[in-house]
Amino acid sequence: MNDMSRRFMKVGVTLPRILVPAESIDRRSWAVVACDQFSSEREYWEKVARTVGDKPSTLNLIFPECYLEDNDKNERIAAIRASMKNYLEKGYFTELPEGFMLVERHTPYEKKPRVGLMIAVDLEQYRYGKDSKSLIRPTEGTIVERLPPRMEIRRGAALELPHIMLLVDDPEKSVIEPLYASRQYLPKVYDFDLMENSGHLRGWHVSDPRNLEKILSALEKLADPSAYKAKYRQDEVLLFAVGDGNHSLATAKAIWEETKKNLQEGLAEHPENAQLLENHPARFALVELVNIYDEGLPFHPIHRVLFKVNEAELLGAMEKAGAVVKRTSGHEQAFKLADAPQEGKTQTIAFVSATDSGVLVFEQPKSKLAAGTIQEILDAYLKAHPETGIDYIHGEGSLVTLAQKQGNFGLYLPPVDKKSFFGTVIADGVMPRKTFSMGEAPEKRFYMEARKIQP
């Protein structure tokens, strides 16, 4: 390990060998949206499958979460592993030299592109859990019950394809933006339109030592303990906060802990394991790093839809918990009221169903964030009504489509202030689960890059 690599490791980063599709591969069919999107809309994934057909695609390397409850889970996982092996053997991937990938993503919703940097982070510098004080930190509570099926997918897989996005608190725009300003001098790797009207994706490889040194120096400055303490009055530096993919990163961590334990137990018979403990590919996870101050990075609330619900009974539970129910002439008016600036501690959450719409006004909420206030009520209701299901929805359009079906009920949450994001996580720990989303569903990461996670 050279000096630069050691310095990168101190800030929780390593230089990955990124895999991209070979030149002969159709990019538009290759890249599909993150597997946790459209989780209640199978028709979206069925349409993607028709678009892809028999072309090489990341669709064959991931497990769309809308299928997680199906009975063919084991068969799907086996098919994913077989496809990974097949794609590697057939030369569908090109492995780039050690370095990062500068990513530019245009979407239909934002005027300016979102700019990110594909890096690999050290899972030894990451802890999930409510009281995590690690350099890389979760932003929402990890539901450990959700990890086993995801671990089963990653366990034994040859590759990882990330939809994880980490955030860095960089108001001076020192890490990614200077690189983007000089992107014309970098080798371009891909440039194409995404499927399903999801925008455009460009990528440039970053391996020149001078650029790497600039990135490293900027990260070291942000991670400087004295500067961090002066800003946040905390000793434990939070350099990277998980923006998207909390459970995916937690899954990678859990698999690494399994792998590490096996390596440690076999150390006496296999002294070479000591080296693997330092550089095993599973110790690291490929992610996209984005500056929270990026002008193309929107913060949206994550909405809720309940299925097979007794609407009157649920609204009664809301009123009992302190909500004032106010009807509106339509869901558009309700959404506007929820989006409007609130006075004092008041929280306004809109609702919509097949026959009704309005807002729930909490003047004395129990949580600092609307997501926490409503989730506490929903958790109690769902526990008492096991026949009722819930899904967490990215995007106003998907919410309305689902909520207006008979027997369903949608909750539209107010905006989240991204400028106070790091301060909230540092001061209060993880946020209530499913509090925010970085963009609408079509704006989420599309799988493009991969990395080998087996030696």
Is residue 330 domain-shared with residue 272, that is, in the same domain? Answer: no
CA–CA distance, 15 with 13 (Å, rounded to integer): 7
Q: Is residue 36 part of a domain?
A: yes
Q: Is residue 421 part of a domain?
A: no
pLDDT tier, 432 (very low <50, low <70, confident <90, very high otherwise): confident
Is residue 435 pLDDT above 90, yes or no? no
Q: How many domains does the chain have?
A: 2
Is residue 283 pLDDT above 90, yes or no? yes
- pLDDT at 108 (0 to 100): 92
Tell me the per-residue pLDDT of 117-134, one tens digit each, with 9 for 90 and over.
999 999 999 999 878 899
Is residue 316 domain-shared with residue 270, that is, in the same domain? Answer: no
Tell me the per-residue pLDDT of 168-197, one tens digit each, with 9 for 90 and over.
999 999 999 999 999 999 999 999 999 999
Is residue 295 domain-shared with residue 315, that is, in the same domain? Answer: no
Is residue 152 pLDDT above 80, yes or no? yes
State the average pLDDT over residues 409-420: 88
Please report, in angstroms and rounded to a whole number, the separation of the first and last CA atoms in the chain: 17
Is residue 277 domain-shared with residue 310, that is, in the same domain? Answer: no
Is residue 301 pLDDT above 80, yes or no? yes
Which whole-number Å values give the CA distances from 137 to 61, 132, 160, 286, 371, in the listed order? 27, 6, 20, 15, 20
**Domain of 199, in residue numbers:** 3-299+440-452
* Average pLDDT value for the chain: 94
Side-chain-side CA neighbours of residue 5 (13 Å)? 9
Tell me the per-residue pLDDT of 256-274, one tens digit each, with 9 for 90 and over.
999 999 999 999 999 999 9
State the average pLDDT over residues 228-243: 93
- pLDDT at 189 (0 to 100): 98
Is residue 441 pLDDT above 90, yes or no? no
Is residue 411 domain-shared with residue 322, that is, in the same domain? Answer: yes
- pLDDT at 146 (0 to 100): 82
CA–CA distance, 127 with 135 (Å, rounded to integer): 8
Is residue 354 domain-shared with residue 444, that is, in the same domain? Answer: no
Is residue 162 domain-shared with residue 292, that is, in the same domain? Answer: yes
Is residue 235 domain-shared with residue 310, that is, in the same domain? Answer: no
Global pTM? Answer: 0.84
CA–CA distance, 451 with 455 (Å, rounded to integer): 11
Query: 367 — phi, psi (to 5°)?
Result: -120, 155
Is residue 356 domain-shared with residue 225, that is, in the same domain? Answer: no
Is residue 219 domain-shared with residue 314, that is, in the same domain? Answer: no
- pLDDT at 415 (0 to 100): 87
Tell me the per-residue pLDDT of 53-110, one tens digit each, with 9 for 90 and over.
999 999 999 999 999 889 999 999 999 999 999 999 999 999 999 999 999 999 999 9
